[in-house]
Structure 1
Amino acid sequence: MRMKDVNQHERDRSLSCTSLADGTIARESVKIPRIVIHAFCDSADAAAAIEQAAADRLMTRTHVAVQLGGIVTATELYQNTPTPDVVIVQSHLDPQAYLAGIDRLAEVCYTGTKVMAIGEVNDISFYRELMRRGVSEYILGPIEPVLLISSVARMYGEAYSGKFGQVHAFIGAKGGVGSSTLSHNVGWTIARELGSNVIMADLDLPFGTAGLDFNLDANQGVADAIQATSRLDEVLLDRLLQKCGEHLSLLSAPAALEATYDVNEEAVEQLIEVAQKSAPFLILDMPHLWTKWAKKTVVAATDIVITAAPDLANLRNTKSLIHVLRHARPHDPPPKLVLNQIGMTKRPEIKVNDFIKAVDIQPTACIPFDAHLFGTASNKGQVVAEASTKGPAINAFREIADAITGRQGMKRRNTARFGLRNLLGRAGRKPT
């Protein structure tokens, strides 16, 4: 529909400009489709803010072009050029001039194009006039990147927001630090103790251990899903999943070396998108590598959990990962850190507090080394909680599951004796 053919629902909306500027959508529920956005700005600051928003992980499916010129430039361009999915116009014009410019822009906008207006006028009558003309969103300047992203998501409604599961990527700072074991146990804990459906995807195609940890035969689950990109949907994905309990399903790795696995980043992205529609939580067991597809997958995740052991190589790699992820995800919280294998016999270690100070992140959990418990579970094809129902590792898995899901309703048992505070206390200092 053209902008002038606004429906009655849009005419009747009466939220104030201030409340629109304050309203945001939770980042974990945002899913923006593959769209083209053109932005036209009178202000260089506004253009810079839109470019910052375009670089956000939530906007990876979009193509955004920004240029100076405001409403006049947009109208002139679309005299002879088709309009994209979304047109953003930012201007310092007074109300009457702004509305007149929107009227002219409406004459050249194609059916289906959504228009987002950014201005300096904080007036409910002006806002209603914009809505009457079919403008999808009005944002009171100055514009903030996070607000712009939530506004784009809001324009596409519940079809693209709030119906997708959270993606949690687990990656080790170094090989052998227990990132895979941690991801399997946390996924099992979410499914078992929260009663939420979880899909576990083992993305270490040649060497993945998820099948072993859940005592399942290795299959081509992940490989088949990646190779079937053009026809992958929720029905096919369900056929590829292996059940590990009432609420946990596994997409296992082939764990075979007869073939090589050159992973296409678009194929992994498609797999994640389909899996997000099938379960509220998707756990990615990432291999210890830093290819283009692996970096893109980690950066795009809802949450990232870095597992590290307390030695120098882990410290260096953890700092590098945190630095890269903070720059790649400026509007997201920092990744979560789990210190694992603490107190390994006869191994010199960096003290927990020194490690924390160096990386400048408080760990979500600290897990003491327990060769017998973890070794027993691994050799029996069990998660740790099946081998033992008590101990600091079990409580740590609950703490991590609680932290990444944002749920506070998990029943905790004996948590006062173990966990991060207790370990730091043993080190002689309280956490800062």
Structure 2
Amino acid sequence: MISASRQNPEQPAEPQPLAADDHIAPVPRVSVQAFCETEQTSAAIQAASQDRRLGKAHITIKMGGMARAIETYHSQPTPNVIMLETNPSTSVIDGLDELATVCDPGTRVVVIGAPTDTVAYRELVRRGVNDYVIGPVETLDIIRCICSLFSASEAVITGRIIAIVGAKGGVGASTVAHNIAWTMARDLTMDSVVIDLDMAFGTAGLDYNQDPMQGVANAIFQPDRPDTALMERLLAKCSDHLSLLAAPATLERVYDFGAEAFDAIFDTLRMTQQCIVLDVPHQWSAWTRHALITADDILVVAEPDLANLRNTKNLLSTLKTSRPNDRPPLYCLNQVGMPKRPEIDLKRFAKTVESEPIATIPFDCKLFGTAANNGQMIAEIAALSRTTRLFQELGRRLTGHVDIRPQRGSLLAPIARLLGVR
């Protein structure tokens, strides 16, 4: 129940910056009530409440600190989480002792302390405090604090969701998604699943040489909420660490969904899979937008032409605005160097988009065509090719397993330049 403190008052340390690209698992449906002393803390919690990872949390903010909390819970039940900002002029220990008389068992308590607080952390732990954060706090501090209460205590795998989408139809986003997922499973030995969300025309089954009788449609049209046992039955095994939730790829019905239609499937798979790769079709609807915004990482696949340039810029801008506390979405260029095709210069493309691609995948019709027709991955046909190494490095980059310090000839040098690493 008790988590490690961020800053121990008995052992002062310099505050550590929280990187936006660190993986933070989302919270389940919980209620959070915050009692603040300052407008700065209130604003940070308000901003955090809009973050995708706290999308299922019901967050209420009140001013008045510890005294207001004690007054409130004399007549109301306590929520799942209480956040308390301390006032240096009052005793934190006395306040927690009084709060304990009105606090329900199982409620998790987070204390936001002032830099001048002298209370010993062991005294806070003794009184049931789950986490202690020294203010002033930022939005990402609040997000990490609330999420860690559950990811650290529930003893489940909180899988990382990676959404891959094409800037334009036919750019090879599905091929990129399937190869990246395959290398995550084989080279990083991560338990991974590919979800083919292109219900009518999905190609994941063909690319992995699978013909499952069931798939994502069986889960989405299930009358009850899908559980782990159901998902295990629906997954097709592609390798020791890779599974597939295939699309029906039929035109027998129209596949219109609400924005949150796939949330239950994603939440269930997060508990058993380390990585979930979403093969998102090139369309803009409520559910595709929601799937992209709520993913942990996003990769846009584009080709070097004008339509792709416009769409990539629009996608990156929209998604970045919708995810202010996340790492910006990434993009790669595919089928670069196609003979006799006029292409936009890569430097011009990057300048217009205002970021560099994390990879440029060369055009190779024979290699990709053979793989597609044989139901194989690129690494199975050309294990030592540059394209295979690109997919390996993309997999490492998207799962946080890559060393961003560039080596001579590194294929991820654009990432290092983007992050200012020398």
Q: Normalising by the residue count of structure 2, what TM-score does the alignment of the two structures yield?
A: 0.87
Q: Could you tell which deviates more after superposition, 16-25 or 287-296?
A: 16-25
Secondary structure in 2 aligned to 1:150? helix
Q: What residue number does 1:243 align with? A: 237
Secondary structure in 2 aligned to 1:315? helix
Q: What residue number does 1:309 align with? A: 303
Secondary structure in 2 aligned to 1:307? strand
How far is 1:388 from its partner?
A: 2.9
Q: What residue number does 2:179 align with? A: 185
Decide whether the 8 Å contact of 1:190 with 1:196 is kept in 2.
Answer: yes
Decide whether the 8 Å contact of 1:214 with 1:382 is kept in 2.
Answer: yes
| Mapping of residues 381-420 of structure 1, within 5 Å | 381-408=375-402, 419=411
1:210 aligns with one of 204, 212, 217: 204
| Mapping of residues 108-119 of structure 1, within 5 Å | 108-119=102-113
Query: 1:346, 1:380 → 2: CA distance?
Result: 27
Q: Could you tell which deviates more after superposition, 104-113 or 300-309?
A: 104-113
Q: What residue number does 1:342 align with? A: 336
In the alignment, is residue 65 of structure 1 matched against residue 60 of structure 2?
yes
How far is 1:53 from its partner?
A: 1.5
RMSD value, Cα: 3.1
Where in structure 1 are there 5+ consecutive unaligned residues? Answer: 1-6, 410-414, 423-430
Q: What residue number does 2:74 align with? A: 79
Decide whether the 8 Å contact of 2:88 with 2:116 is kept in 1.
Answer: no
How far is 1:106 from its partner?
A: 3.0
Query: 1:365, 1:61 → 2: CA distance?
Result: 34
Secondary structure in 1 aligned to 2:229? helix
Query: 1:14, 1:29 → 2: CA distance?
Result: 19
Q: What residue number does 1:16 align with? A: 9
Secondary structure in 1 aligned to 2:262? helix
In the alignment, is residue 43 of structure 1 matched against residue 35 of structure 2?
no
How far is 1:195 from its partner?
A: 2.9
Query: 1:82, 1:75 → 2: CA distance?
Result: 11
Amino acid at match of 2:46: E
How far is 1:51 from its partner?
A: 1.2
Query: 2:70, 2:393 → 1: CA distance?
Result: 54
Q: What residue number does 2:417 align with? A: none
1:32 aligns with one of 22, 27, 35: 27
How far is 1:160 from its partner?
A: 3.8
Decide whether the 8 Å contact of 1:41 with 1:70 is kept in 2.
Answer: yes
How far is 1:107 from its partner?
A: 3.0
In the alignment, is residue 53 of structure 1 matched against residue 59 of structure 2?
no
Q: Could you tell which deviates more after superposition, 325-334 or 279-288?
A: 325-334
Query: 1:278, 1:229 → 2: CA distance?
Result: 22
Query: 2:38, 2:293 → 1: CA distance?
Result: 30
2:284 aligns with one of 273, 290, 305: 290
Q: 1:216 to 1:132 in 2, by over 3 A?
A: closer
Decide whether the 8 Å contact of 1:24 with 1:151 is kept in 2.
Answer: no
How far is 1:35 from its partner?
A: 0.6
Q: 1:337 to 1:157 in 2, by over 3 A?
A: closer
Query: 1:134, 1:13 → 2: CA distance?
Result: 16
Q: What residue number does 1:273 align with? A: 267
Q: What residue number does 1:324 align with? A: 318
Decide whether the 8 Å contact of 2:7 with 2:15 is kept in 1.
Answer: no
Secondary structure in 2 aligned to 1:396? helix
Q: What residue number does 1:333 align with? A: 327
Q: What residue number does 1:252 align with? A: 246
Instruction: From the two aligned structures, give the one with the greater helix fraction.
Output: 1
1:373 aligns with one of 350, 367, 373: 367
How far is 1:254 from its partner?
A: 0.2
Query: 1:194, 1:88 → 2: CA distance?
Result: 38
Q: What residue number does 1:425 align with? A: none
Decide whether the 8 Å contact of 1:34 with 1:62 is kept in 2.
Answer: yes
Q: Normalising by the residue count of structure 1, what TM-score does the alignment of the two structures yield?
A: 0.85
Q: 1:385 to 1:131 in 2, by over 3 A?
A: closer
Query: 1:319, 1:347 → 2: CA distance?
Result: 22
The alignment-based identity, stated in percent, is 40
In the alignment, is residue 174 of structure 1 matched against residue 168 of structure 2?
yes
CA deviation digits over 1:167-203, x for unaligned, max 9?
A: 1111111111111010011111222223332211101
Amino acid at match of 2:269: A
How far is 1:354 from its partner?
A: 0.8
Decide whether the 8 Å contact of 1:227 with 1:267 is kept in 2.
Answer: no
Decide whether the 8 Å contact of 1:202 with 1:251 is kept in 2.
Answer: yes
Amino acid at match of 1:208: G
Q: What residue number does 1:120 align with? A: 114
Decide whether the 8 Å contact of 1:30 with 1:161 is kept in 2.
Answer: no
Secondary structure in 1 aligned to 2:102? coil
CA deviation digits over 1:261-309, x for unaligned, max 9?
A: 2234444111112212222221110111222222222122221111011
Amino acid at match of 1:285: D
Query: 1:20, 1:147 → 2: CA distance?
Result: 15
Secondary structure in 1 aligned to 2:119? helix
Amino acid at match of 2:159: G
Query: 1:129, 1:389 → 2: CA distance?
Result: 58
Query: 1:108, 1:381 → 2: CA distance?
Result: 62
In the alignment, is residue 299 of structure 1 matched against residue 296 of structure 2?
no
Decide whether the 8 Å contact of 1:153 with 1:160 is kept in 2.
Answer: no
